[in-house]
Amino acid sequence: MEELLKTLPSNATMRDIFDFCVKHKLHNLAQGMIELNPPAKLRNICAKVCVEGNEVHQYRNRFGEEDYRMSIVVLLAKKFGCNVPKEAVLATSGVSGGIVSTLMLLKNEAAKSNRLPKIAILVPFYTYHNKQIQDILGVTPVYIPTNEDFTPNWEAITKELQNGLDLIMFTNPGNPQGNLWSKADLDKIVELTKTYNSMLLLDEIYCDLVWKGTFYSPIHEKLHDHVVACRGFSKTLGCQSWRVGYVVASPAAAEKLMRIHDPLYISVAFLQHCIAVYIRTEYDDFLNHVQQVSDLMQSNWRLLSRTMQKTLGWEPLEPSGSMYGLFKHGQKSDRDAVLQGLYNGVGVAPGNIFWNGTPDNTTYVRIHVGISAEKAQQIADTLEKNYQDRQKQ
């Protein structure tokens, strides 16, 4: 194994670790991928819509189809007590479609005054947000540190807003840290960004996966022209490849985003109709499925965090939501912690990929828990066996 570990790139990404695990038949918890099927009733609806739909395989409405957008209106009202008009909902090609369209919108508006937009992300950050900003805008994001417990560092946030920002973006609940923003903190950042003429872009893909506390979003009370919330179903319904998401924004902002999203993605997949039917006719099944997925993830986290603390010496940081958990590892570097995990049969993500500059040692590693209970138990058993073998040496 030691010789095999030498073949892992020194700057290994989640994908590299995933490929390494697949190649060498190791368990993988590095890449955040839900390994659970969509609910059976949704899959049956999908088959029916695919076969019987006379028009669904043609280009779809550039705002998203009426049934899908109205289903989102109903979902927001029933689940979150959030009353928004249909005009505030834009169907997108996954959450990424909403994020990319927002970044493109800012790029186009900044170009009118011959400048590049300034986009800030909070550290630690979701790696693809960082990459999307750099690839789409050709600029390095402004990195705003958070406090040691991952709560907002208001001094740092205010300073960067005063220096001029076009947008602040972050995930709530957080990835990789699994933190949940409080209502007071969200209301504060909405007002601050408004005061300093900055947009606020919220990646809320994990809004249904809250383990402790209550999820809140600014859109639940009011639609602000400078606030854009992006959501989807890839995690809660296990339909990652479907690429069906949505944006909630003021009607004026949704209109602007549609004119960017439409020529980029042409239309959202016909699967939007399937989700629309599912929410309209099987709402209780939707709620039950989401709860089951959330319960499963929390159970997996309890098992794996307990086992990793015992067998690897990693200290778990209890998450409030998402599908991730961080550990403090105690090794000389994040890479050493990753190698420790691989040596014991499981791949994890190094913390430094979520920090600007990829420092050698953030003291963190991240796992995902979107796996079956059986697989979680297999991983725990593997770690326990290797631990017992070490104790005998």
304 and 166 assigned to the same domain:
no
196 and 321 assigned to the same domain:
no
The domain in which residue 19 lies consists of 2-31+286-385
27 and 50 assigned to the same domain:
no
Neighbours of 74 (CB within 10 A): 14
pLDDT digits (tens, 9 = 90+) for 215-238: 999 999 999 999 999 999 999 998
Q: Please report whether residue 390 resides in a domain.
A: no
Are residues 36 and 372 in contact, defined by beta-carbon separation less than 8 angstroms? yes
Burial class (CB in 10 A: 0-12, 13-18, 19+), 5: middle
Q: How many alpha carbons fall within 13 Å on the CB side of residue 380?
A: 19
pLDDT digits (tens, 9 = 90+) for 294-315: 999 999 999 999 999 999 999 9
As a whole number of angstroms, the distance between CA 255 and CA 89 comes to: 9
Locus of tokens 């957080």: 174
247 and 343 assigned to the same domain:
no
Which among 260, 281, 302 is the end of a domain? 281
Alpha-carbon distances of 381 from 85, 293, 299, 314, 346, rounded to whole Å: 50, 22, 15, 17, 11
pLDDT digits (tens, 9 = 90+) for 79-116: 999 999 999 999 999 999 999 999 999 999 999 999 99
Closest CA to 305 of 294, 293, 292, 318: 318
Return the C-alpha torsion angle 208, 210, 214, 215, nearest 10. Answer: -50
Residue 147 pLDDT more than 70? yes
233 and 304 assigned to the same domain:
no
Return the C-alpha torsion angle 25, 310, 292, 279, nearest 10. Answer: -70
Structure tokens at 337: 């912690």
pLDDT score at 57: 87
Residue 10 pLDDT more than 80? no
Average pLDDT, stretch 237-246? 92
Residue 178 pLDDT more than 90? yes
Percentage above 90 pLDDT, the chain: 83
Percentage above 70 pLDDT, the chain: 98
Neighbours of 73 (CB within 10 A): 19
pLDDT score at 254: 96
Using pLDDT thresholds of 50, 70 and 90, give the confidence band for residue 18: confident
pLDDT digits (tens, 9 = 90+) for 256-283: 999 999 999 999 999 999 999 999 999 9
As a whole number of angstroms, the distance between CA 167 and CA 29 comes to: 32
Residue 40 pLDDT more than 90? yes
Higher pLDDT, 145 or 36: 145
pLDDT digits (tens, 9 = 90+) for 321-373: 999 999 999 999 999 999 999 999 999 999 999 999 999 999 999 999 999 99
Using pLDDT thresholds of 50, 70 and 90, give the confidence band for residue 2: low
- Beta bridge pairs of residue 89: 248
φ/ψ of residue 49, rounded to 5: -65, -40
50 and 14 assigned to the same domain:
no
Average pLDDT, stretch 184-207? 97
Burial class (CB in 10 A: 0-12, 13-18, 19+), 387: middle
Average pLDDT, stretch 46-52? 90
Which among 252, 281, 310 is the end of a domain? 281
125 and 47 assigned to the same domain:
yes
pLDDT score at 1: 56
Q: Please report whether residue 25 resides in a domain.
A: yes
pTM score, two decimals? 0.92
Q: Please report whether residue 351 resides in a domain.
A: yes
CATH of the domain at 201: 3.40.640.10
Q: Please report whether residue 81 resides in a domain.
A: yes
Q: Please report whether residue 168 resides in a domain.
A: yes
143 and 252 assigned to the same domain:
yes
DSSP element (H, E) containing 68? helix 66-80
pLDDT score at 71: 96
Higher pLDDT, 168 or 27: 168
pLDDT score at 289: 95
pLDDT score at 56: 84
pLDDT score at 19: 86
Using pLDDT thresholds of 50, 70 and 90, give the confidence band for residue 214: very high
212 and 127 assigned to the same domain:
yes
pLDDT score at 9: 75
CATH of the domain at 293: 3.90.1150.10
pLDDT score at 59: 81
As a whole number of angstroms, the distance between CA 102 and CA 256 comes to: 9
Of 24-28, 52-56, 181-185, 378-382, where does mean pLDDT reach its minimum?
A: 52-56
Q: Please report whether residue 392 resides in a domain.
A: no
Return mean pLDDT, the chain.
93
pLDDT score at 244: 95
Closest CA to 261 of 249, 273, 271, 274: 249
Which among 248, 281, 314 is the end of a domain? 281
Domain count for the chain, please give it. 2
Average pLDDT, stretch 4-26? 81
270 and 291 assigned to the same domain:
no
pLDDT score at 374: 94
| Alpha carbon 147 to its chain's center | 21
304 and 259 assigned to the same domain:
no
88 and 64 assigned to the same domain:
yes
Are residues 346 and 329 in contact, defined by beta-carbon separation less than 8 angstroms? no
Q: Please report whether residue 391 resides in a domain.
A: no
